[in-house]
């Protein structure tokens, strides 16, 4: 067999369509002696038998290890330049009360951006003093709640928020620590919807207005100016964007130091992970060393103290530690004409989930890696894994080589679904959101229970009680 002409250039024809590339799959993912996929010491078939499908599976030990690795990398890199680093977990990637507890146990802080995320973080035992609150349209109620619980830092996203947060803090008789989110203008190399520092979008205050914004904050007795914040986007592999954003922020940081203390600088997150073999993710140690070097050199050049640094990874910590299990349904080969006038076949493999449990392919054209849960030595065929929803864009994995004997009833696993899949899940077509299960050392436990038809009907006020 050879590569299918319908396949994109990034997708290599596999020598083994059952092989698991370690950097893409959860750390504990392996195949048993009889070839079945197991995560956390539990086979896919056992997990689905207990919890059903679709099913989000999270490798608990992998999440904890990745959180600890990031914290160690930044602590050590910035200690070498004489300062401290604070790692905030970007909770929007995936948050449950247990995840909040894992992050706290690993020594991480948390970043939240809604009242709901704040409530979950607090219910998980997070110290409010170690939380940050983001958001481009925080309600008065959200701001008041953040101030009330003693939230560590509120990130101001607009000039308007300065007065609103100041009033909330004054009403509560407290002084609220705040950062200013700066739109650096750096055009990160990522999908347009994932680039968050371009000029024509909703986040942040323009770089040219940073000094005036800081002056306005400093003029409010109920606010304490902590420093600047930058986030240039997500799923980024080109480090030049991070370097340029840091350089631009250091220029403004130095200007602000001349007129008052600026104890911290938040450089955001956004590091990409490996979803496919074509991806090349950063190691956190490399990111930490690069940013530490930039900050140290910038401070030396400007003759200013080295500030404490904060970063906000989310996807890196939970993304690779997750996988989603599906049951295969309809198999549909489709023969198409190629550019040279010949024909080729793409096999559509339908599964019992789709864009309701993974919206990222539809939103961003995101690519994923899939494998059958059982091993097979059948020749590989080009497939497109699709969902059950009434949308032609309901695609789970756009292009993947799977064994040619894929059949109805098979279990199929999609890798690296730990970030943003559960967070973006919906009830489209009145499909219940799947459960989330944590696995570790041969045991499994539910983090979030799945939704039933009864759950969906429970909120429908037109249902007549039987």
Q: Please give the distance of CA 420 from its chain centroid, rounded to a whole number.
A: 5
* CB contact set of 309 (below 8 Å; sequence gap of 6+): 74, 78, 83, 84, 85, 86, 264, 265, 266, 267, 291, 292, 295
Cα gap 67→364, rounded to integer Å = 26
Cα gap 96→119, rounded to integer Å = 10
- Alpha-carbon dihedral sign for residues 32, 368, 275, 422: negative
- Decide if 12 contacts 277 (C-beta within 8 A): yes
- Closest Cα partner for 435 from 357, 360, 374? 357
- The catalytically annotated residue of 113, 299, 390, 421 is 390
- Alpha-carbon dihedral sign for residues 332, 333, 336, 339: positive
Helix (H/G/I), strand (E/B), else coil: 224: strand
Phi, psi of 228 (to 5 degrees): -100, 160
In the residue annotation, 390 being an active-site residue is answered as: yes
Helix (H/G/I), strand (E/B), else coil: 364: helix
Question: What H or E segment, with its residue span, contains residue 161?
Answer: helix 159-171
- Decide if 426 contacts 420 (C-beta within 8 A): no
Size (the chain), residues: 466
How much of the chain is helix, strand and coil, in % rounded to 5? 30, 25, 45
Q: Please give the distance of CA 185 from its chain centroid, rounded to a whole number.
A: 22
Query: Which residues are annotated as catalytic?
Result: 390
């Amino acid at each position: 067999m050879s590569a299918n002409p319908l396949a994109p250039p990034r997708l290599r024809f596999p020598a083994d369509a059952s092989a698991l590339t370690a950097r893409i799959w959860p750390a504990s993912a392996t195949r048993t002696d009889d070839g079945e996929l197991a995560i956390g010491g539990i086979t896919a078939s056992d997990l689905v038998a207990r919890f059903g499908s679709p099913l989000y599976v999270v490798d608990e030990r992998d999440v904890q290890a990745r959180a600890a690795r990031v914290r160690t990398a930044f602590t050590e890199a910035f200690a070498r330049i004489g300062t401290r680093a604070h790692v905030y977990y970007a909770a929007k990637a995936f948050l449950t009360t247990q995840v909040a507890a894992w992050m706290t146990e690993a020594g991480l802080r948390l970043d939240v951006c809604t009242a709901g995320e704040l409530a979950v973080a607090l219910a998980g035992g997070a110290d409010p003093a170690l939380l940050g609150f983001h958001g481009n349209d925080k309600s008065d109620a959200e701001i008041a709640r953040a101030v009330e619980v003693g939230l560590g830092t509120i990130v101001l996203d607009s000039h308007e928020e300065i007065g609103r947060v100041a009033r909330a803090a004054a009403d509560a008789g407290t002084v609220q620590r705040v950062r200013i989110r700066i739109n650096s203008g750096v055009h990160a190399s990522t999908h347009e919807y994932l680039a968050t520092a371009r000029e024509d979008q909703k986040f942040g205050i323009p770089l040219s207005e940073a000094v005036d914004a800081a002056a306005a904050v400093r003029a409010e007795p109920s606010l304490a100016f902590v420093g600047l914040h930058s986030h240039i986007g997500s799923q980024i592999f080109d480090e030049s964007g991070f370097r340029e954003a840091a350089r631009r922020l250091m220029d403004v940081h130095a200007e602000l130091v001349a007129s008052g203390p600026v104890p911290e600088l938040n450089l955001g997150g956004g590091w990409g992970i490996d979803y496919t073999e074509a991806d090349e993710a950063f190691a956190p140690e490399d990111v930490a060393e690069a940013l530490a070097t930039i900050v140290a050199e910038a401070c030396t050049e400007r003759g200013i103290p080295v500030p404490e640094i904060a970063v906000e990874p989310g996807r890196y910590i939970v993304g690779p530690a997750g996988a989603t299990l599906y049951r295969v349904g309809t198999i549909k080969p489709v023969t198409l004409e190629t550019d040279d006038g010949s024909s080729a076949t793409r096999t559509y493999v339908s599964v019992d989930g789709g864009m309701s449990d993974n919206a990222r392919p539809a939103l961003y054209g995101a690519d994923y890696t899939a494998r059958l849960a059982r091993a097979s030595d059948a020749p590989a065929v080009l497939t497109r894994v699709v969902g059950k929803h009434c949308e032609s864009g309901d695609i789970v994995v756009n292009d993947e080589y799977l064994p040619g004997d894929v059949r109805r009833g098979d279990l199929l696993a999609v890798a690296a679904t730990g970030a943003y899949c559960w967070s973006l899940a919906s009830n489209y077509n009145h499909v219940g959101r799947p459960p989330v299960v944590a696995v570790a050392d041969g045991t499994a436990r539910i983090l979030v229970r799945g939704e039933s038809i009864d759950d969906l009907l429970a909120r429908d006020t037109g249902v007549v009680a039987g």
